[in-house]
Structure 1
């Protein structure tokens, strides 16, 4: 049979139950975990060569599979008994995390059985009664009660509360105190009508369609003191490319935006955009430097944008001049 896959890392406190009992031997025990299934007691003894003269016994724990035709195999850990505490500490310092049979072995001083039992009891004592898993089955003693953390009466109360489903309180209908209040209270039909009215969404007012501006007519509004309208751009120019046209000409750019269509993925450029240059002086410089400039085979147009009021919220929006 080929070698089984390497055992999962285990520690002394987390080791799985095995059929082979650990032999109580004199001396100071050292725990060796994360062993390969192929590691034998002889191989483990050779691994402990730095303290070989102090070795009293070597034991690899064997697990019984519980199935026919499947032989017992290593549980993935073992113990080495040494004659002195100094030798045990030396083995930990020299061999912990060292490799044996392709596995990184965990080497640590084994805890005495009395200390492990004491730690288990302390952990149980720290558990608070009433948490999930601490309540006992009806007729049985809870774990908290067994540890002395709760009285039998408290345990029984906790069990009864867990067994009984919580009942939902029904809200009683409030009655009008006076005849006047009764007359003022809405009837069942009125109440249902009110509820239906609340559920029905209010119809939205249709927006008034914007009338297109005749060709050649200037838009109504005030000229922007910082925004420029740039037209006849190539459809492949994006916001960064539009900004670069101005910065390359020595014009300061606050923001640059290409106007795109509302549909499509990705949304295609409409061939024009707006650039905020921060002031009127920069506007003049940009118009003089870039008007008619050839960009990708197109002579671009640079104009001062117009702030036109919007009908819905009276905010101003930059708009292309008529001569663009």
Structure 2
């Protein structure tokens, strides 16, 4: 049994590759545009039913759906070949702007391939005599941009490095200047109003979380967790609060420990409050 996959067949019974290029049919070809995606060859032929005796072929053009794998659908237009020029002209007069599958179709005399190619050639702009075609600007490589940025900071040595990395043309020279990105200014945060002295924070205290302060700046998450586990306290999580900037980010001298239950929380407060750290319940806001 062969492993080769069968070629996908459209609803019109024609493989999509065969319909990718429209072959010149004998007779007088009529272009039919603004077709619905649901319109098939048979539906197109039904539109030309008054001229059924003159129809040589009726074909809806199919195209693959972008990013649709092997899925294909109507391109929105098709062609009908009629036996005589009189029948083609009569069909255009009769069927133009008629309704088909909910769409107002456009029926016109199809242009021969030679005329299409000639129109494409005529539409292509030709440079005037004595005027040379303008060269396209080359895009700067990442290495050239990086070298230009280093040149702004380092002085005279960087331009030479930029030339070695990627030569820059005269048209690109203005773009190289000022290519270094300016640091974005941070918006100042609105200050939080201080809580009056002696007033409890709003909310309710947590039954599992502990706030631990007065810690050394070298204490990390593991050391904070070890402080509790060595005292026989079950630790779910331990986290040191650190500053947002700096590398590495420095501790702020306090953190939070989750002990999992209210009983473990009270046990931890009783066991460790005599140490140099300050322990209290964490408030939920």
Give the TM-score, by structure 2 length.
Answer: 0.40
Quick check: which has more Rg, 1 or 2? 1
Give the TM-score, by structure 1 length.
Answer: 0.35
